[in-house]
Amino acid sequence: AAMVKETIRVYARVKPLGRRQQAGSYSVDVEEEPLSSLEITVPRDLADGFVNNKRESYKFKFQKIFDQEAKQDVVFDSIAKPVAECVLAGYNGTVFAYGQTGSGKTFTITGGAERYSDRGIIPRTLSYIFDQLQKDSSKVYTTHVSYLEIYNECGYDLLDPRHEASRLEDLPKVTIMEDSDQNIHLKNLSLQQATNEEEALNLLFLGDTNRMIAETPMNQASSRSHCIFTIHISSKEPGSATIRRSKLHLVDLAGSERVAKTGVGGHLLTEAKYINLSLHYLEQVIIALAEKNRSHIPYRNSMMTSVLRDSLGGNCMTTMIATLALDKRNIDESISTCRFAQRVALIKNEAILNEEIDPRLMIVQLKKEIQDLKDELELVTGKQRTTELSQEELLQLNDLIETFLKDNDPDSTLDVGADMRKIKYCFAHMKQLMNHPTTSDKKLLSQDIPEEDTNNETGEELEKLKELLQQRDNEINNILVNMLKKEKKKAQDALFQLNATSAGSTVLERSLSINLEERQSPSSCFSLKEAKEFSSSVHRLPFLFRQTGGRMSLGCQEAFEVFQQDHADSITIEDNKRLLKQRFAEVKCLGEKLNEVRSKINHLKGEITQRHIQRAALAVSNPSEELNMMDPVEKKLRMQIEEEKKSYKTMFSRFKGLKVEIEHLQLLMEKVKMKMQKDFEVWWSEEAKNLQQEKPEMVTSPNTVTVYPQFIKSSQHLSTSSFSETIKVSSNEDPAGKNNSMTFSNRTLKTSTPPSSTTPIPLTGDSQADADILAFIKARERILQKKG
Ligand code: ADP
Ligand code: MG
């Protein structure tokens, strides 16, 4: 198989400086083709303390350096696209980002959460790969994705649907299994089929969301965990049994920051320790690989190095991006990152073409070949052939053999004709005669035995053999059928899961993909409403559902709305909403225009037909005219049609582009919304805790919550066991004392005991709702105070 030997390509990307950050001193030099170099100068004040040796300037070489202003598309084009191309050709590929927390790993690999143009390497790679697959009709492709998170040396399947409902530690762990050929297999990591870009993006989004859900302030998963998004591609030419399989790992590593070891006298030493153990093992593997004549590479020390074994010094095209935050405070971490990168650049990989033969396809192919040959033989001999010789033929052969053996003439031959079955039988029979002369003697002597008996005996034996053969045949068939059934079931399961996760998107799909060839009536135009419904239907409040067992109380909902307005991300949401609206309008407009152009084309076609009819009529009345000549009117009409088609095509590709953008924007918005809900959840439970601590007497028992009358302006509303009016917070609860009335319209509070205005009102009906209201009142106050 073809093999490509290459060192790991190492790139650097410098993150834009924050507004309040002080720039560190560095320079990028691209003159030394083909490599670029990055020179970092350590300021004197730092050089004394942080960096142990006396050097002040450090120079590192990279394949290419992307400075602060480099955009995502450029980064994708030069870093990930070449790897994706190799993967499409059947080689394995890996792109991994390495750098301290906050240096832009996630931004580079996955993308920013705000703008469409900020989408990172994963969505761009998916887009590129599916585009290429669509263009290539010479092969049949299947694509799957998996998304693995490694946290604390444990692997989790980010695409596991149970993620939403359970805690991280309750999920089945992904474990490593090694087969006899030392290939790594990952147990409990699902491979989800993705037939197009949209399905793959949905899976990416699902995984990112699950990652976010699992993260709590206690486990800073996003900086301490490694995420490996893998695209699996298999391809096959139609009719061929050879399959090419390749994998593309897109890896967002844990933050590379180290804990500085404090030396004697409080001095900081350069050789600091990783916070993350797997990164420590990664570095060991890399050091081992860079050393010459080193035979043992400690891949097995950690889960991550096991999973990435092929990517590091193995069968893979590998690329690393060192992400750097080159402000003054992060200079030393950046130097560490660059040093690591220099070592990685020494590793040689050998990527081989991953081709294999599918035994099932092979069987099918061989069976077909046999049938073809049989047919051909039948044609040539003019005789039908079965696999077995008939009894008559066998007897005939026995006779021939016997005669042949008895014949002492050295020139005698055994001629059975050009029939492999007969030739084989003769050899087998003679072998038997040689090995068992006694039985064969008997057989040879069997001439004396009446013919009928012999016939019966061989007949029975033959029947038995036939039965046995039939039995074996059935067994083989059963195995094959079971194999196929299993595969089918697997495929269906995967499909089912996929449908379950992306059920909402089909609505959008339906509404966006107007198939203009089929559309006839203008009433079936693009539906804006449908698409909008979709955008609000995906993934609603998974966290709160989880916490309250499927329901979010009303007070809590109301508080959430207030919280939402106050949240920093609401600006992003609003911006994106506006953009989305604009895009929807554009798509709608384009859809209408496309329909228009289509009807125009149809109209022109109609005109041409009319013209034909006219000309035909003219030909009848006036023969011999210049009928063979091209009608100039028709020519003009045709040209017009061509023009319209051209504009149709450009509009349609723009339409498709917009569709992808809309989907992406929707996913981004959902992500931000979910983040907000998560923040809210944390804040909400804290508020509830605070409230309980401040006013313990309010909660008398878990089931009876008392509301002080001063909270409620007119208590008689409560006696009707529902209130849909205004609740006023009394002035001693609210120092501002104004503009803080809240309307609970159509909210129902069940009360079992009639309230009295002198004693605290027990609201025992729904303690959750009662507590929510109290907490809400409190929460709103806090927000108002915060807002000043
Ligand atoms: P990491 O994953 O390495 O911890 P992030 O990718 O989360 O870092 O980046 C930290 C912050 O910096 C994020 O808010 C991100 O949007 C922003 N950021 C990182 N790189 C860039 C860049 N090249 N351009 C603009 N913003 C960036
Ligand atoms: Mg990150």
Q: 324 CA distance to ligand 2 centroid (A)?
A: 13
The predicted pLDDT at position 608 comes to: 87
Q: What is the mean pLDDT of residues 279-295?
A: 86
The Cα 204–Cα 538 span in angstroms is 15
| Dihedral (CA of 45, 51, 53, 57) sign | negative
- Ligand closest to Cα of 257 equals 1
Q: What pLDDT, on the 0 to 100 scale, is given for residue 628?
A: 62
Residue owning the nearest CA to atom 9 of ligand 1: 104
Residues 703-711 have a mean pLDDT of: 38
Domain 3-44+54-359 falls under CATH 3.40.50.410: no
Q: How far apart are CA 656 and CA 659, in angstroms?
A: 5
pLDDT at 700 over 80: no
674 CA to centre of ligand 1 in angstroms: 19
pLDDT at residue 44 is higher than 80: no
With helix as H, strand as E and coil as C, how does 442-462 read? HHHHHHHCCHHHHHHHHHHHH
Ligand 1 pocket mutation pick from 11, 14, 15, 103 by most atoms within 8 angstroms of CB: 15
DSSP annotation of 249 reads: E
DSSP-based three-state secondary structure for 502: coil
Measure the CA–CA gap between 256 and 276, rounded to whole angstroms: 7
pLDDT greater than 70 at residue 745: no
Q: Which of 20, 72, 75, 107 most suits a substitution to test ligand 1, by most atoms within 8 Å of the C-beta?
A: 107
For 709, counting Cβ atoms within 10 Å of its Cβ (0-12 exposed, 13-18 middle, 19+ buried), the class is: middle
Closest alpha carbon to 213 in 557, 686, 543, 546: 543
Measured from the CA of 100, which atom of ligand 1 is nearest? 3
Residues with CB under 6 A from ligand 1: 15-16, 99, 101-107, 112, 223, 255, 323
Task: Name the residue with the closest Cα to ligand 1, atom 20.
Answer: 104
Yes or no: say if 709 and 715 are a contact pair by the CB < 8 Å rule.
Answer: yes
Give the position of tokens 């149970």: 162
From the CA of 108, give the closest atom in ligand 1.
6
Residue 624: per-residue pLDDT: 63
* Residue 15 CA to ligand 1 centre (angstroms): 7
Q: Of the ligands numbered here, which is closest to the C-alpha atom of 333?
A: 1
Q: What percent of the chain has pLDDT over 70?
A: 66
- Where residue 714 falls among pLDDT bands split at 50, 70, 90? very low
Q: Kindly report the protein residue whose alpha carbon is nearest to atom 11 of ligand 1.
A: 102
Query: DSSP secondary-structure letter at 551?
Result: -
Atom index in ligand 1 nearest the CA of residue 110 equals: 6
pLDDT tens by residue, 607-657: 888 888 888 777 777 766 566 667 888 888 889 989 999 998 889 888 888
Picking from 660, 514, 530, the residue whose alpha carbon sits closest to that of residue 196 is 660
Q: How far is the CA of 325 from the centre of ligand 1 (A)?
A: 9
Angstrom CA distances, 488 to 15, 48, 351, 481, stand at: 47, 66, 32, 10
Report which protein residue has its CA nearest ligand 1's atom 23.
15
The distance in angstroms from the start CA to the end CA of the chain is: 71
pLDDT, residue 440, reads: 46
Q: How many helices (H) and strands (E) does the chain have?
A: 23, 23
Provide the token pair at 286.
Answer: 């890399």
Ligand 1 atom showing the smallest separation from residue 252 Cα: 2
Atom 17 of ligand 1, nearest CA residue:
104
Mean pLDDT of the chain, nearest integer: 75
Quick: pLDDT tens for 159-174. 998 877 777 778 889 9
Output the CA 103–ligand 1 centroid distance in Å.
6
Q: Strand 242-252 vs strand 93-98: parallel, antiparallel, or unpaired? A: parallel
pLDDT of amino acid 231: 97
Pairing of strands 3-7, 140-151: unpaired
3-state secondary structure 762-779: EECCCHHHHHHHHHHHHH
Predicted confidence (pLDDT) per residue in 579-590, tens digit: 888 888 888 888
Q: How far is CA 163 from CA 160, 206, 379, 544, 759, in A?
A: 6, 10, 63, 14, 47
Distance 670 CA to ligand 1 centre (A): 19
Ligand nearest to the CA of 102: 1
Q: Which residues contact 218 (CB under 8 A, 6 or more apart)?
A: none
- pTM confidence score: 0.61
- Token pair 């379950």 is found at 500
C-alpha of 358 from chain center: 25
Atom of ligand 1 nearest to the CA of 112: 16
- Ligand 1 center from residue 614 Cα (angstroms): 69
Q: What percent of the chain has pLDDT over 90?
A: 25
- Residue 220 alpha carbon to ligand 2 centre in Å: 10
Whole-angstrom Cα Rg for the chain:
38
Q: What angle do CA 285, 287, 292 make, to 5 degrees?
A: 110
Residue 686 pLDDT grade (very low, low, confident, very high; cuts 50, 70, 90)? confident
Q: Which long-range contacts (CB under 8 A, 24 or more apart) does 548-553 make?
A: 548/768, 553/768, 553/769, 553/772
- Please tell me the residue having the least CA distance from ligand 1 atom 10: 102
d(CA 680, CA 686): 10
